[in-house]
Structure 1
Amino acid sequence: MQRIRQVCVIGGSGFVGSAIVQKLSTAGYDVKVLTRRRESSKHLILLPNVQVVECDVFNDTALAGQIHGQDAVVNLVGILNESRHASFEALHVELPRRIADICCKQGVRRLLHMSALKASSDAKSAYLRSKAAGEQAVLDRSSELDVTILRPSVIFGRGDQFLSLFASVVKVLPVIAVAKPNARFQPIWVEDVAHVCVAALENVSTYGRSMELGGPQVYTLQALISFIAFLLGKKRRIIALSDKLSYYQAYVMEKLPVKLMTRDNLFSMEVDSVCAQPVKELFGVPTSALEAIAPEYIGGDTPRSAYDRFRSLAGRAMGKR
């Protein structure tokens, strides 16, 4: 097997991508990060062995030029909500298909593709259906590529779009109405996801596999919000909404300029984001407990800065990068 040295990361300037790029750099790989705006990736430019390149990944010629000569490609592009400028079909299905096709044409065999836990072709959620279609588009080329699919539950860590968003809500609102309060998640720390990505890169046993990624503990959404309130020292009344009221709340929220929740998000939460098997360690490293990591970055804002961060995080959840 050819030793991997050059790694091209597509969508590497965001929350998860930045952690993966840093881990790849530390491991000694030469990393090329493709981004729409180099200016937004200043935090990566100074890393050793990292090159940040502006590239329109929807232009096949430009994308092929950047993938040419690489030993591996990591695709991290994804959105939680659609917008006028970004659809699930374009980012989750067509882009992975084109990346796989270009890898084949350029002779780049190794491809890691980030999907989502519980992606399924018959899911009620368009997000989960599109993730499943993207997986299949990549796996269709598995005779020519060494593919690994990563399927994480929700990912948390400093700068996330999950705990940090709820923390901002808890700081601002005295009463919190929770849609799908019993939805279950198995949150995984972003650094653990990055560890898996780097460890899997040259691990032949991961070729052709889909890997479910989750942390050591499963939580309901209501339990997570209660834990956040505890960390912040806030006494908040939490109202658990029925399925019908959850649907109405999502319907109203998706009409707002900033989509805090959509009906499709709600459909995603109808399926427990929990791994089929317990996850105590990944590649020999114990998975990190949310209770050990979250206190390091939850808290410390004033109500005004919490509101501003809430708006910012909600905007990023729409796919803004």
Structure 2
Amino acid sequence: MRTVASRLIDSRASLSRLYTMAAGYGERRCFSNDSNKVDEPFKVEEAETVNVPPPPQEKLLVLGGNGFVGSHILREALDRGLSVASLSRSGKSSLHDPWANNVTWYQGNLLSPDSLKDALDGVSAVISCVGGFGSQSYMYKINGTANINAIRAASEKGVKRFVYISAADFGLANYILRGYYEGKKAAEAELLAKFPYGGIILRPGFIYGTRGVGSLKLPLGVIGSPMEMVLQHAKPLNQLPLIGPLFTPPVDVNAVARVALRAATDPVFPPGIIDVYGIQRYRQ
């Protein structure tokens, strides 16, 4: 026991000597022997300032921006501060709203792919609202061929994401409007092939909102909004054979615009097909 105690005393004495030496060394560092002046602090060099240019602003191209859905997408995109361009057969919009002056308008025909070259310069995402009705052959061209041309041109230009506004399956209507739906399906297949990781297909049903027809404005929301509230809770009826698609709920044009923009600009938005229920879910 006495040996252990002696060791402890010796250890404490050694530590005490170390602390004394350290303190003395610190005093010698802080004060000069000759002048009794405090040593000057270390000088820290300032880091060199490097001017890093801001990242380039993403540019969005909306095909068919003059239409009902396209014009809502353009306005929503501008509200989010995006750089926006539009291409359509008529070129500059006939709308007199102030926001239309902030869009770069291109005139072109998607059945002639060369007209897309200038409009695709610097574009990071494309949203296509191109579609229409008419004869079976015309509907296939405008809904199918025109969009296929746009998808291929965008792919060749290295566009990151492509959103296509397609249409919900309405059962019997598919046979009556065969050219319309066959064209849509062909465009969808091309998009999934060319943009497996950045291609998004939206399949809304009836799209309601205030639609301009000439000088008239039709408030379609008066009918569409109540129908959406009722039918969005009747999803099981949508699975009924033949008549099930008739229970597909309508959707607000502003919701379609918001989801289309989110799909075009959000890199983690899942690629693939988004039905009307998905649109209702993602619009929040």
Which residue of 226, 246, 252 maps to 1:189? 252
Unmatched tracts of structure 1, length 5 or more: 168-179, 214-274, 286-321
Query: 1:1-321 to 2 correspondence within 5 Å?
Result: 5-38=58-91, 40-43=93-96, 46-47=99-100, 49-79=102-132, 81-83=133-135, 87-118=138-169, 123-124=174-175, 125-126=177-178, 127-143=180-196, 146-159=198-211, 164=220, 183-213=246-276, 275=277, 281-283=281-283, 285=284
Contact 1:28 1:49 in 2 (8 A): no
Contact 1:119 1:129 in 2 (8 A): no
Deviation at 1:165, TM superposition (A): 12
C-alpha distance in structure 1 between counterparts of 2:119 and 2:146, whole Å: 15
Between 1 and 2, higher relative CO (CA 8 Å, sep ≥ 6) is seen in 1
Contact 1:31 1:50 in 2 (8 A): yes
**Bigger radius of gyration:** 2
The residue number in structure 2 matching 1:304 is none
Unmatched tracts of structure 2, length 5 or more: 1-54, 224-242
- Percent pairwise identity: 23
Contact 1:19 1:191 in 2 (8 A): yes
Contact 2:78 2:99 in 1 (8 A): no
Deviation at 1:38, TM superposition (A): 3.4
How has the CA–CA distance of structure 1 residues 29 and 141 changed in structure 2, closer, same or farther, with 3 Å as cutoff?
same
C-alpha distance in structure 2 between counterparts of 1:73 and 1:193, whole Å: 15
Deviation at 1:186, TM superposition (A): 0.6
How has the CA–CA distance of structure 1 residues 44 and 96 changed in structure 2, closer, same or farther, with 3 Å as cutoff?
farther
Give me the TM-score of the superposition, normalised by structure 1.
Answer: 0.55
C-alpha distance in structure 1 between counterparts of 2:107 and 2:138, whole Å: 21
C-alpha distance in structure 2 between counterparts of 1:111 and 1:100, whole Å: 8
What's the Cα RMSD here?
3.3
